Structure 1
Amino acid sequence: MGVNSNTLLVIKLPDSRVLRILSRSVFLALVILTMPCIDSILRERPEYNNFGSDVLSNSQLLNLLFRDLAIEGLLRKGDKALILSPGIVNVRMVHNLNLQHLHLHNNVSYVVMDSGLEGQRLIPDETFDFVFTITSNFVDTKFVNRVVKIGGIVAIPLSNNNAPNGFRKQSNYRIVYLRSYNSTIMALRKVSPSNEELGSSTRRHLCQLESEAKKVMLKGLEDALLEPPRRTLLRSTKYLKKIKFLPELLGDTLESYKRRVFIGVGLAEENSALTEWFHQNYPKRNQDFEVYSLVVVPEEEEGSSRVAVHVDVSDWLMKNVKEEVYVVMKADAEVVEEMIKRSTICLVDELFLECKNQWWQGMERYNKSKRAYWECLALYGRLRDEGVAVHQWWG
């Protein structure tokens, strides 16, 4: 056919909307095809390297972290420290740390978690003041609980993938530090002995039970008096019979504990009478109790009912009380409030709470107390909520 200048050649192209749909479909198909490759690349990233890929950079970040922990008072000069690693690569990184400024270079131990099981068994209980884990994914929680001292610090990077075998916050730990570097670092203070088996015969600290379990266990305790009783009632055997002592409440023979301790916190002359009362009235189940007297003295300020303790009760408990010890204590409200602040109240199994208030009759020394009786009831209720077997003590 010849070309005629009067003839037009028309080529019809697809609608632009059709082209857009077609191009997007091709792009989506390419993405779907490349997904397995992307996933395999992500899976190859080492989980333990939470601080980045460069070893020198990691060491620098760890030095920065340890300096910050020292500034916060969580890592002190002379502390005995343990650094846990899931692999030999991280051990090399840790050896690049500069710990001389903390005087820790001679007090640091290293454990490779995937190959150091025998080494773990050789470490005595409560050996370390500070434990740091390179990762949260490979930590043996039971091992850490065993080797860190009460009052010691455990620092971990928070896991991004919630690994089931990572370190979990235990009920006997309190968060004291949370800061973000390449990873978020959390530090926890161990405030009481660990309780791994709730059903064992030595498992008695009610503070760590769930709230409903606490209510059931403490339901048998006598109710708090809504107003201070008369002295004649306190002297009667009828009032004494109302006290539901913990061994009777739980049906506990007290035989399973390696030690049983009674601690009186008060004036010297009061502690002497208190010890006599304890031996005459407490259901000791024919078991021997060690008796300790922590002496307090009244403050000299005019009109003050506060007391000053010769020893730090919380520190004393953390140094002298372990999981296998059964502890009964009598203490003043001010001492108990300080123990609550220090998170050491749960080291006590049974507490006799003395709360002096403006209704305190026949005690001229405390008549000027500023504490209202409802404040005493509030403290009593708080202790019950915490899971402490608490009784009101009237002297």
Structure 2
Amino acid sequence: MEPAVGKPSFFRNIMVRVLLFGVFIIVVRFAYIVTITGESCNRGDFCFFSLPENLNFVIAGAGPGASAIVGSDSVSRSNPRRDLYTSKDWIKAVNFFSSVFQDLMSEGYLLPNSKSLCVETPGGQEVFALKEIGVGDSIGIFKKASKPLVISGEGHRIPFRNNTFDFIFSGGARFDKSVRSSAFASEITRTLKPEGFLVFHVKAKDTYSFNSFLGLFDSCELEKMRHIDGFDSSLPYIREIIMKKKSEILGHGDKISGGDSGNECSIQEHKRDLIRNAEPLITDEPLKPWITLKRNIQNIKYLPSMVDISFRGRYVYVDVGARSYGSSIGSWFRKKYPKQNRTFDVYAIEADRTFNEEYRLKKKVTLLPYAAWIRNETLSFEVNHDPNHPGLEDVKDKGRGMGRIQPKKSSGNVVDGEVDEIQGFDFAEWLKKTVTEKDFVVMKMDVEGTEFDLIPRLFETGAICLIDEIFLECHYNRWQRCCPGQRSTKYEKTYGQCLDLFTSLRESGVLVHQWW
């Protein structure tokens, strides 16, 4: 008689299925805890992968007692959770930061009793390295928590009170990627104690970006800067910047000051160095300016094509004499200016009321429907319909000519074009209230001759120091396209005076381009 095997096989299949289902439940629960909530795994979380409380794996070269598992003495006595970090990249990062912190400790910037914060640390390597070299009171913040090393928080919104930390570190060049650099810097200095130390690892590849970075921290002083090798291929070369928070904050570095009037400013030397790399000015007056100046646009070296503009508070474009949106904002700045993936606040200054309605439909542009001027007063705005005006043949703005402002005329005066009464405003003072030296400011100015009033006013008030790059169209009695041998009578200035204006700007350290 054959033995009966059907019933045991049936029960065996049921047990196998139950076991597999149980394993599936455990795996799903583990994935939820670790991946979704950002927590470590322990028995209380219904996770069977927890390790004994006293289990430690030593990481070679990470410092005395370094371990891959954070023990109760090395991380947190109040939180029993343990994280297992065994990847080669994580261990390599711990080794790197341990070496960095040991150097800082030997130089006195970091002490064993320093209350320390690591900003934007997704894996907590920096925090782990600090604890393993003896800085026990350390914590990290990142958008997604990884307890107990890292809690939830972001660089531009740090969840700690003022003057909390003795030492703050931001590594991995993560500051470079911040789109809120000004808020990032403000929060870091807010939570640092007076005379506490900030240490950053940033790319800051050029002098311009380095000085821009320092400019964000007006309440701190530079202690030391050195170049170091990064710990992976994505960061082969970085700058280590060490700063100390001032014991007393006497003022704000973003204010223009100096001299008896309080309006003078000095443009930093690194901005003057950029002039040497800019395209040369056209020294000889062109016989066909409508061709020469237009072609010169192809030679212009934009500032963002020469330097890194990452470390600025805001990014601002001011179009003075904007005319229609498509005249330069839409057709040139939006499409061609190299913005390095930064979002710019755009201001359009245009006195011609014809274009007001168009700008109301542009949500990302702020229109100032006034005339940029040297003071606040009522002006006359004349729209000239001269077909011989160079460049007018390209204008398709409802047949409008080029508008220019002038002091208000008496009723007895006769003018060639259409005249409106408009309000002029002190452009230099408006600029000083709108932007700071921490911001990256680009300006295009096409004001039909008023540049000879506005530029001196910018120097007089010190507002010129707030501008990083200017695209300036200078108006003079140029040769006319229609009539060879004849000059325009619309403007009294000569090409030589325009050249002097450009030269004075560049000699003062302002990156200005001859625009069309």
TM-score range for the pair, normalised by the shorter chain length: 0.3 to 0.5
Q: TM-score, normalised by structure 1?
A: 0.44
TM-score by length of 2: 0.35
Structure showing the higher helix proportion among its residues: 1
